[in-house]
Amino acid sequence: MIIHIIGVEGCGHHGLESVIVNILQKSNKYVHKQKLNNIILPKSRNCDKNRNFEKEVELYLKNKNYLIYTDDSYPSGNNRTINEHKNIIRIYDTISKYQPIIFIYLKRNIYNAINSHPKFDGNIINHTKVIKETKKYIENQIKLLRDKNVKIFELNYEDIDKNIGIEKISEIIGVDCEIVKDSVNKNFRKSKKNYIDILNIDTIQEMKKILSVD
């Protein structure tokens, strides 16, 4: 089984990773994400038109019974445009031929997500524009997957250490709530930064204006 987390940059996926991987790695089927996440999945970008991704997934996953946690934020690193984003539908269509794949859409207060990296894309206003377009891209991909009856779990970053979040993680990975709660308590450190306390009102108003326009 492959678990794949998707969310905008700043959604908090590293925090969720520490919770889930701590649980998964107790299984003898667990395989570290390095090869699939860092070497193979980047070849699924919209700009990659060759079939290297499909070939490498087959070689790596066919006739295997792995348990792998993978994740990505959109955008990621220097890949800032939609054309450079990973194609989530392509990831599903390819991996699901060989292994079950579970998607978790990790959501977070959009202002706090943006303010996690306020200097990316030149400044926070440009970054807001990039994140807005990226969020539209992610949610369109999710809609298309749901149109194919693919189940997409949703989890709020703010809920990870609350009962509602612990119960959701328990449902997704199929372990007892107490196991999840223990991992959350040991491994999750929620960010206490709040954009309201950091950004000035003019910046917040400009961000709101950008985010409110379709």
Q: In the prediction, which pLDDT does 77 show?
A: 87
For residue 30, the enclosing domain spans 2-212
Domain CATH for 184 = 3.40.50.300
Q: In the prediction, which pLDDT does 2 show?
A: 98
| Global pTM exceeds 0.75 | yes
Domain total in the chain = 1
d(CA 114, CA 175): 32
Over 80: is that where the pLDDT of 159 sits?
A: yes
Give the tens place of pLDDT for each residue, 143-158: 999 999 999 999 999 9
The full length of the chain comes to 214
Over 80: is that where the pLDDT of 9 sits?
A: yes
The DSSP symbol for 32 reads -
Q: In the prediction, which pLDDT does 51 show?
A: 92
Q: In the prediction, which pLDDT does 196 show?
A: 96
Any alpha helices (H) in 96-194, and if so which ranges?
A: 110-115, 124-147, 163-173, 177-187
- Read off the amino acid at residue 179: I
Q: In the prediction, which pLDDT does 72 show?
A: 87
Give the tens place of pLDDT for each residue, 27-65: 999 999 999 999 999 999 999 989 999 999 999 999 999
Q: Distance of alpha carbon 166 from its chain centroid, rounded?
A: 17
Q: Distance of alpha carbon 174 from its chain centroid, rounded?
A: 19
